[in-house]
Each structure stands twice: as C-alpha cells, then as structure tokens.
C-alpha cells in the first residue's frame, strides 16, 4: 500500500486480530509523515462563525465585518487548517486534477459532516460549467464519499471572470452571486435546514452567496461545513 500523496510505502503494524480480516478501510490512505502536515482544528478554540483556528471562542475580526452587513444566521464549521500542506494537497487535487486524492479525506470528511445533526438537506457547492469542462469533476462531491448530496443549487459563472484563486481578496468580495436554485426544487426547500459543503472557506464570500440564494428561496436555516479554513 502506497501513500496517496508522497507514494512511499505505508507500513502498518496490525494487531493480530486484523490479520484474519484485512479491510481496505483500516489501511490509512496516507503515511504518517504526510498526515502530520495537516493540522486539525479544535472546535473548542475556533471562531464560532467561520471555524477559523484561533486562541479563543470569540467571533473573529473577519466575521465581525460580515455581521455588520448581514441580517441572516450563518455559521461555518471546518475540519482542518488551510496551511502549506493543505494548499499543496488542494493544488494537486483540484488544479492538476488528481482525482485519486479524494480518498485522502473521503472517509473522515463525511464523518465530520454527519456529526452536524438536525439538517434536512446536505448540499455540495456546485462548480460552474467551465470548471466542469477543464477539471472533469466536482472536488466537493469527491470529498463527500458516499454521502447523499441534494443538487438543489446551480452555478452559472460568466466565462470571462477570473478564477477565485487568481483574484485578490477585494476583487473576490465584489464578485457577483452566480448561484440559483434549480426550478424543480423551489417548492421543496421552504423552511428547510440546509448544510452547505465546500472544500475551502477563504473569504466566506462564495458560501455566503450560496446561503443568501437559499434564504431568498425560503430556506429556514443555512450553515456550512468545509474541509479547511
């Protein structure tokens, strides 16, 4: 078994009982060295609004700014910190299109999503048609494993706009909202509690656009879960 990231052999010391029934799920997808590069966020010391890792449970300065302009409830929960290791992982997974890399988190991330109870619908953020053509997969769905996704949102981004990752923060905040709710779902989402899923929370703009679109269409509550923040 090779590490999905560095391709070195993974050595696992099996308890004797495992030798009888070896299962794919019990072999870690990456080696200990690669795993140690990712930093898990403890929710006990994270911003309660965006999931940012910090020293306290205080609302962070970014979220204080958001709260000045928004009147609706919204909170994000993140599993990992967006550090250098995560940045490198995302680059290879999304931009070099190594679809195998979804397996690094596709067991752990669904478990994290399922730990948030009381939501009617789990909705992966959609990608725009141009990204579909170039990447060939929705990276968020890949990370969700076999978790059920309700495809109620659509995204139609104007083709001439630059990619999110190539824009400066100020430019990103000004970007228009390109989300819409698929017509056939409009009746079904009224007063429903929706948990949005995305890979990275950067400025929060994209997720908030999706949340605003859902509230406009009558959703009762919108929160989100991201792999990293």
Listed ranges 2-10, 141-149, 160-168, 178-186: which one lies at the site for Zn ion (CB under 5 A): 2-10
d(CA 74, CA 155): 20
Site residues for Zn ion, 19-78, by CB under 5 A, read 31, 34, 47, 49-50, 52, 60, 63
| Residue (54 or 115) nearer to Zn ion, CB | 54
1, 2, 6, 64: which one binds Zn ion (CB under 5 A): 6
Nearest to 68 by CA among 77, 78, 57, 59: 59
Contacts of 194 by beta carbon, 8 Å cutoff, 6+ apart: 119, 120, 121, 123, 152, 214, 219, 221, 222, 223
Nearest to 123 by CA among 208, 197, 209, 20: 197
| Residue (38 or 215) nearer to Zn ion, CB | 38
| Residue (49 or 94) nearer to Zn ion, CB | 49
Closest contact distance (angstroms) between CB of 42 and Zn ion is 15
Listed ranges 3-11, 86-94, 102-110, 177-185: which one lies at the site for Zn ion (CB under 5 A): 3-11
Contacts of 68 by beta carbon, 8 Å cutoff, 6+ apart: none
Q: 């080696």: which residue's tokens?
A: 31
**200 φ/ψ angles, rounded to the nearest 5 degrees:** -130, 135
Distance of CA 116 to the CA centre of its chain: 14
| Residue (54 or 156) nearer to Zn ion, CB | 54
Closest contact distance (angstroms) between CB of 219 and Zn ion is 22
Closest contact distance (angstroms) between CB of 212 and Zn ion is 18
| Residue (28 or 218) nearer to Zn ion, CB | 28
| Residue (70 or 180) nearer to Zn ion, CB | 70
Closest contact distance (angstroms) between CB of 182 and Zn ion is 30
CB-based burial label for 188 (10 Å; 0-12, 13-18, 19+): middle
Compute the CA torsion angle 216, 220, 225, 229 (nearest 10 deg).
60
Closest contact distance (angstroms) between CB of 44 and Zn ion is 15
| Residue (92 or 150) nearer to Zn ion, CB | 92
How many residues touch Zn ion under the rule CB under 5 A: the total is: 11
| Position 143 contacts Zn ion (CB under 5 A) | no
Contacts of 72 by beta carbon, 8 Å cutoff, 6+ apart: 211, 212, 215, 222
Q: Using CB under 5 A, list all residues that contact Zn ion.
A: 3, 5-6, 31, 34, 47, 49-50, 52, 60, 63
């Amino acid at each position: 078994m090779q590490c999905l990231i560095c391709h070195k052999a993974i050595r696992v010391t099996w308890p004797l009982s495992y030798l009888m029934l070896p299962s794919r799920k019990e072999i870690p997808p990456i080696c200990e060295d690669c795993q140690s590069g990712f930093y898990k966020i403890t929710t006990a010391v994270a911003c309660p609004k965006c999931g940012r890792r910090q020293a306290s449970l205080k609302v962070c300065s970014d979220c204080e700014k958001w709260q000045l302009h928004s009147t609706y409830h919204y909170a994000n929960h993140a599993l990992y910190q967006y550090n250098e290791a995560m940045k490198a992982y995302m680059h290879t997974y999304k931009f070099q299109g190594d679809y195998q890399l979804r397996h690094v988190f596709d067991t752990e991330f669904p478990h994290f999503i399922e730990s948030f109870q009381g939501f009617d619908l789990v909705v992966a953020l959609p990608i725009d048609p141009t990204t579909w053509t170039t990447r060939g997969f929705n990276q968020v769905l890949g990370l969700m494993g076999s978790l059920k996704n309700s495809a109620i949102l659509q995204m139609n981004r104007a083709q001439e706009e630059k990619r999110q990752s190539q824009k400066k923060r100020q430019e990103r905040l000004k970007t228009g909202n390109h989300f819409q709710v698929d017509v056939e779902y409009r009746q079904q989402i009224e007063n429903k509690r929706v948990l949005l899923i995305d890979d990275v929370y950067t400025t929060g703009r994209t997720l908030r656009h999706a949340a605003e679109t859902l509230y406009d269409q009558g959703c009762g509550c919108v929160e989100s879960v991201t792999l990293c923040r």
